[in-house]
Amino acid sequence: MTERSFALGDRRVRVLLGHDCLDEVAQVLTALDADRFVFVTDDTVQGVVGGKLAGVVEQTAPALLLSHPPGEAYKNLATLSRFIDLALDFGVTRRSVVVAVGGGIPGNIAGLLAGLLFRGIRLVHVPTTVIAACDSVISAKQAVNTAHAKNTVGLYHPPELIVVDLGVVAVGSPRDLRSGTCETVKNALAIAPGQIPALRRLLRPRADYTAADLGEIFDLSLTVKSRLLLRDPHEKHAGLLLEYGHTVGHALELASAAPDSAARAIKHGEAVALGMAAAADVAHRLGVLGADAVDVHEELIARVGVCRCLTAGLDTETVMRHIGFDNKRGYQAHSSSHVPMVLLSALGVPLGPGQRCLTPVPRRAVRAAVHELLRRGRECGGRCSRGRGAHA
Ligand SMILES: NC(=O)c1ccc[n+]([C@@H]2O[C@H](COP(=O)([O-])OP(=O)(O)OC[C@H]3O[C@@H](n4cnc5c(N)ncnc54)[C@H](O)[C@@H]3O)[C@@H](O)[C@H]2O)c1
Ligand SMILES: [Zn+2]
Ligand SMILES: [Zn+2]
């Protein structure tokens, strides 16, 4: 395994990267000298890797395996509360370590569990999706959802260590690999355009990435996120740039996942890619972003394999209603006629004034961009070359 690290507040977080290295991962965990291990995973990842890893570690220290059904619906206080009781029954102490094995969902639940037990015990992430490896674990933010909204209850608790087995990440579904890679595209467009040539070389619409490709994609993400976290460990100021594409993106994700939705659920990263297309369109309509920069958005979104036809079944007003609940409300005085958004004036250059890089955008400009996004989605109707297989 190779080692990297990044600073998070007053802590340096070690990152170990390897390929088919589960035994080494177990050795690294054992070396933490914990009195007990609490593994948190989901029922799918338990079968792929979580159960095996916990089994190997258990040969040296008592290990408890906590698992929940996969999905956003289980990232809630009920799962967390059940896990807290089971961990305490198991005899967890301040010397114990919580190990998250899985995507961003078990990662966030484990992060909150570790942050709350005895006001904070050690947390290790073993991410198994691209989104977890490249995005959610490179952060101190931990949260679960409530009936009101996503990520409403949480705290900051940095991990002690991150261990990535790229061989495990690479066996995820093409859609999950693509969804994670969209966040790396976002970093390049909004923060580090110098990474665009590397992405042109790496991205493939079918998302048939090798472990080596994923290692390169991971390093691109780590470079950007570690630079931002150095200045802004709580991701409240410069870190808000990471929210590029998320205003329309979250709304598409939530609208498509609603129980009464006629649309198929859009994954987080896919939604962010489409949200970036909408943000570029908004900025272009307002006359602040040039056509060349819009074209680069289109090119990278095509290369990553996301098409607007994913929005089939959604309507503009439903998406606009969800935009009204965006979690960036409260950063600025709220006005119902404006939506705070991260917009760019050029690739890598935020338009927004002040530290928070948020621009109040007239709702009608956002509505026009959403309307156009959905119209072009209907126009494609799944006929795109990227649609076949790539959306499976
Ligand atoms: N800063 C942060 O805390 C932060 C940042 C980004 C995202 N997130 C959160 O992360 C979550 C999304 O992450 P995600 O997409 O990883 O979700 P996830 O954990 O649900 O994983 C996606 C799916 O992949 C499956 N899976 C995971 N690893 C696998 C593997 N190796 N092989 C086969 N299947 C595998 C899971 O069972 C699940 O069905 C959201 O809840 C989001 O809010 C948090
Ligand atoms: Zn995101
Ligand atoms: Zn299409």
CATH of the domain at 59: 3.40.50.1970
Domain boundary among 170, 194, 216: 170
Q: Compute the distance from residue 249 Cα to the ligand 2 centre, in Å.
A: 9
What pLDDT does residue 307 have?
96
Question: Is residue 100, in this structure, part of any structural domain at all?
Answer: yes
Question: Is residue 210, in this structure, part of any structural domain at all?
Answer: no
Mark whether 289 and 373 lie in a shared domain.
Answer: yes
Smallest CA-to-CA distance from 255 within 239, 231, 241, 274 is with 274
What pLDDT does residue 150 have?
81
Q: Compute the distance from residue 338 Cα to the ligand 1 centre, in Å.
A: 32
CATH of the domain at 292: 1.20.1090.10
> Using CA atoms, how far apart are residues 30 and 292, in angstroms rounded to an integer?
52
Mark whether 165 and 272 lie in a shared domain.
Answer: no
> Using CA atoms, how far apart are residues 50 and 229, in angstroms rounded to an integer?
29
Pairing status of strand 37-42 against strand 63-68? parallel
What pLDDT does residue 355 have?
61
> Using CA atoms, how far apart are residues 271 and 256, in angstroms rounded to an integer?
10
> Using CA atoms, how far apart are residues 245 and 289, in angstroms rounded to an integer?
15
Mark whether 249 and 368 lie in a shared domain.
Answer: yes
What pLDDT does residue 390 have?
45
Mark whether 24 and 155 lie in a shared domain.
Answer: yes
Amino acid at 69: P
Nearest ligand, CA 246: 2
Question: Is residue 279, in this structure, part of any structural domain at all?
Answer: yes
Exposure b/e, 338-372, CB count within 10 A at least 16 = b: bbbbbbbbebbebbbeeebbbbbbebebbbbbbbb
Mark whether 154 and 267 lie in a shared domain.
Answer: no
Question: Is residue 185, in this structure, part of any structural domain at all?
Answer: no
Question: Is residue 165, in this structure, part of any structural domain at all?
Answer: yes
Report which protein residue has its CA nearest ligand 1's atom 1: 136
Q: Compute the distance from residue 278 Cα to the ligand 2 centre, in Å.
A: 15
How does pLDDT run along the chain (392 residues), one tens digit per residue?
999 999 998 899 999 999 999 999 999 999 999 999 999 999 999 999 999 999 999 999 999 999 999 998 999 999 999 999 999 999 999 999 999 999 999 999 999 999 999 999 999 999 999 999 999 999 999 999 988 778 889 999 999 999 999 999 999 999 999 999 999 999 999 999 999 999 999 999 999 999 999 999 999 999 999 999 998 999 888 888 999 999 999 999 989 988 888 889 999 999 999 999 999 999 999 999 999 999 999 999 999 999 999 999 999 999 999 998 765 656 665 577 899 999 999 999 999 766 678 999 999 999 999 999 999 999 999 988 655 444 54
Question: Is residue 285, in this structure, part of any structural domain at all?
Answer: yes
Nearest ligand, CA 180: 1
Smallest CA-to-CA distance from 103 within 16, 37, 11, 41 is with 41
> Using CA atoms, how far apart are residues 314 and 324, in angstroms rounded to an integer?
16
Domain tally, the chain: 2
Mark whether 33 and 159 lie in a shared domain.
Answer: yes
75 lines ligand 1 (CB under 6 A): yes
Report which protein residue has its CA nearest ligand 1's atom 13: 104
Domain boundary among 140, 170, 200: 170
Nearest ligand, CA 187: 2
What pLDDT does residue 352 have?
76
Residue list, CB under 5 A from ion ligand 3: 307, 309, 380, 384, 387
> Using CA atoms, how far apart are residues 3 and 234, in angstroms rounded to an integer?
24
Query: What's 238's DSSP letter?
Result: G
Domain boundary among 170, 195, 212: 170
Closest ligand 1 atom to 180 CA: 15
103 lines ligand 1 (CB under 6 A): yes
- Domain span at 34: 2-170
CA distances from 381 to 90, 110, 313, 385 (A): 52, 40, 10, 11
Output helix, strand, coil percentages for the chain, rounded to the nearest 5.
50, 15, 35
